[in-house]
Structure 1
Amino acid sequence: MKFSALFTAPLAYMPFSTPATEKREKTAKTAPAPVKRSRSAKVKKPAELKPYRGISIVFEDCACEAVKKIGSKRFLLSDDDAPMLPLPACDAARCDCKYKHHDDRREEEHDRRFSSTLRTDLYEDSGKENRRAGKRRGRRKSDT
């Protein structure tokens, strides 16, 4: 036997003697077959949640007095101040009250921003000069 043959022939009793091609075949992972998706199955981004989402309680005429006291009051969802249903003081045999979700806790007819916006618009529509814009306001030079 030649001396060089000792280094090229695989030794069956040695764990590292398996040729590299056989190792690759044994350890190669098969990639899963690609899954075909329809266009409607594409992952959509979740809708951005509005910060002032609200919740109110919807109830029937035969509801308990505890729910009737709350009425149609809207609670801010992010504050977790909405009461759990059924209410602790509920005396109904079966509570049929449900939550109703709102995009905005504020009711449209009670929007507090409306009056100030209206006032500004009326002032600008009157034709008077807007004295706030353009001039630098502040202290007089003689005051310093």
Structure 2
Amino acid sequence: MTLTIILIILVAFLSFKLPAFFKPARKTSKKNALKNRMAFGESTPHINNLYHAVNIKFDLAACPAIQSMANDYFLAGDAPPIPLPACTSAACRCKYIHHKGRRHSIRRPQAIIATEAYGSTGKLERRMNTGRRETD
């Protein structure tokens, strides 16, 4: 009798656990995939933005080679490798800071309308509101 009860419990337990064991693995999200890539030292994912830029963040103990690049922004593909070959620090703690582009602000003031912008070059305004005929 007790052997039958034990077998029923064992069969019930296995019927619940075995299907879960044979299920395919869940797909990971992009966020988790990025974490996994970075954890295993793989390269960063492909970035679709052509103007994706980076600059280098460093602390006060950074080598002079990095400090000379304090305000420089690089396209992500053109950025120098960290640590730099000329790095004199025993343990480089520099890292990349990512940006959407190399520009920091809008280069053209939005308040200027087209006619004012054209006149600011010093050229003579030749556009007129007349028609094709001389009498217009």
**TM-score normalised to the size of structure 1?**
0.46
**TM-score normalised to the size of structure 2?**
0.48
Structure showing greater radius of gyration is 1
